[in-house]
Each structure stands twice: as C-alpha cells, then as structure tokens.
Amino acid sequence: MSAKRVLVVDDSQLIRQVLSDALTAKGFNVDTAENGSEALRKIQRGRPDLVVTDILMPVMDGWALCEAIRRAEPTSELPFIFLTTERDVPKRIKGLEMGADDYICKPFSKEEVVARVESVLRRASRGEKRGKRKGGRTAPVQPPAIHLAGHSEQLAIPDVIQVLSLNKRSGTLHVRGRSVGRIYFREGKILNAETRSLKGRKALFRIVTWPEALFEFEPGEPERPAEPALEGSTSSVLMESFKQLDELHNLAKRLPKLDERLRATRKKEGELGVLSTTQRIILRAAAGGATLEEIIDAVPDDDLVAYAFIDELIGRGALEVVGGASAASATAGGSQRKS
C-alpha cells in the first residue's frame, strides 16, 4: 500500500518543517505550502489524501482554502484539518460548518497532530463522507464526523457542549477530570450525563465545574442510561450551569477542599433548631466523618444547594473539619474556608 500524502499549509516555515518531519517519520509523504493560494496550485497538480492548514495566512487564508476545496467536485470530500491559534468558539463552529474534519490549537505536540491525522484518515477510509452524487444530484449533506478532543485549557467544557449542540451532533462526550464523566447527545440535545454514582443534572453540573479536564467526543448513536433524562434545551441547561458556577465559586472560598474530611459534631438537635431534609442527609453522611465530595454526592439536590447547606451547618457548629487535604488537591473554587 502506498504511503498517504499530506499537504501542510502554514505561513510559518518552522511549523511547516516541524510537521513535515513528524509526519514523514510516521511514513507519510508530505508536501508543504506557505498560503492557501500555493496550496490550491499543488492540489490541482495532484490531490493529497489530507490537508492540514493554518487559518490566519497572507494571500489566501484557511477559510478561503477550505471553501475552495469543498466547492470543487474533485476535492469536495478531501479530509481537512484546521491548525490554528484561534480559540474563539464561534470561529471554531464556523470551521466545522464549512466541513472541516478536525481542528488543533497551537501550541500543539507533534504526537497530537500525528494522532489526529491518522484518526481522520481512518474515518475517511471507512467511507464516512459528507454526501455522494446520485443520479446527477447531490444527496443531502450529513454533518461531517469530527474528532473533537483536547484539554479544557484550550476549550472549556461548556464551550465544547455548545459546539456539539450548535452542530447538532449525536454521540458521547467523554471527560476525564477529577473523575471520569460522560455526557450523551442526540442531534445536539443533551440526553443525560453521568460521573461516579451521579446522573442527570447533578452529574452534568459537577462535570462542568472541574477546573481541568481532558475531553474526547465519540460520534454515533449514544448509549442512554435509563434514568434520569435531562429536560430543557441545551442553551437553558448551560445558562443554569454558568449561574451555578459563579455562585459555587463564591461559596467555595469559604468551604474546605473537596478531599478534606468533615464530621458531624455532638451538638443536640434541639440546639440546632429546625433542620431541612437536606441538612439531615448531610449530617447523616458526615456522622462518622466523610470528605466534602462524599457528602455532596450523598445529597440528591444540585451541588449549589448542598454547598449552601454545608456552609450553614459549619457556621452553626454542626459540622467540623477533621482531616487535612493534600496540597495538590483542587477545590471547587481553589481556596480554603476563611475564618
């Protein structure tokens, strides 16, 4: 089998050289161009198997190059990856809508680019295309199968959710942060989410609060846990999660770290006054000592409600911190309780 041909387009000679060396070492035949215009001339002389291109370039940028490639019948199915410093979500969405198969943010590792190139080419070899001509007419174009993966430093989890929603994607978003989580989509709508023993809204809001996370989207019909399903539009769910994030951040400044242990004190119930059902659940969970994360897991309410009640119980002397956290552990807001 002949080696796959990759065309790398970037106005930086250094980046062209780095990617050329990395891909050549993996057995690819690599050609380079310093702008979209030069790339089109090379494509007309011989169609590559995949194009990796920067967006911001002189003469002809990556947007124009992608549009020209998709408009021409011989190259309309040519696999295409954007390589860019752009981190603005609407611009990423524009790239996906134009038919890009993937995008990679600078700075990048050579290993990441090679892995993305191999992944896109595998999908192309399986025939995951945008639509074929039938009887002289073009069949309806399906959303291109994209490999959406990266780190929350490059694209925050709420922004990833927004990209998948706006592009009406179906599949499973795998997230690895403080724990492992999954968010299930069908045609852009969030069906459900789960992490640890949590499901539904509580799981979704927990996932978006992780300060750092790796994510990868697996396209296709998602597995769907039976209970509970999320209701409401994705935009309304995201708006509520943003509101919770702001309030959680403020509360977390006063609370212990997630892996610090708390214990219910021996105060008599009469001294505490009237307790809500949620407060009773919290005190039962902390009866023998438990981490803050274990306690909020035990509460069926959203994390914001659990945090607020825990904050109140600590203030009333019903809960006390009994164990220190490791210096490397993260908090929901990054700070310890202030006296």
For 165-185, what is each residue's pLDDT tens digit?
777 788 899 999 988 999 998
What band does 326 get if pLDDT is binned at 50, 70 and 90?
very low
Residues with Cβ within 8 Å of residue 52, at least 6 apart in sequence = 6, 7, 8, 9, 19, 81, 83, 113, 117
Among 326, 328, 161, CA closest to 237: 161
Q: Where are the alpha helices (DSSP H) in 74-196?
A: 89-97, 110-125, 157-166
Interatomic CA distance for residues 304 and 259, integer angstroms: 17
Per-residue pLDDT tens for 54-87? 988 888 888 888 888 888 888 888 998 988 765 5
By residue range, what is the domain housing residue 5? 1-129
The encoded tokens of residue 14 equal 């250094």
Same domain, 11 and 83: yes
Q: What is the DSSP letter of 142?
A: P
Q: Domain end: 72, 96, 129, which one?
A: 129
Radius of gyration for the alpha carbons in the chain, expressed in angstroms and rounded: 25
Is the same domain home to 230 and 295? no
Whether residue 333 lies inside any domain: the answer is: no
- H or E, element range at 39: helix 36-45
**Residue with the two structure tokens 């724990």:** 179
Asked if the model's pLDDT at residue 233 lies above 90, the reply is no
Reported as a pLDDT band with limits 50, 70 and 90, residue 94 is low
Answer yes or no: is 19 within a domain.
yes
Asked whether the bond before 228 is cis by omega within 30 degrees of 0, the reply is yes
The count of domains in the chain is 3
**Tens digit of pLDDT for each residue in 142-151?**
444 555 788 8
Domain assignment present for 140: no
Rounded-to-integer distance, Cα 26 and Cα 117, Å: 11
Same domain (yes/no): 302, 200: no
**63's tokens:** 């947007």
Residue 139 within a domain: no
In a shared domain, residues 182 and 282: no
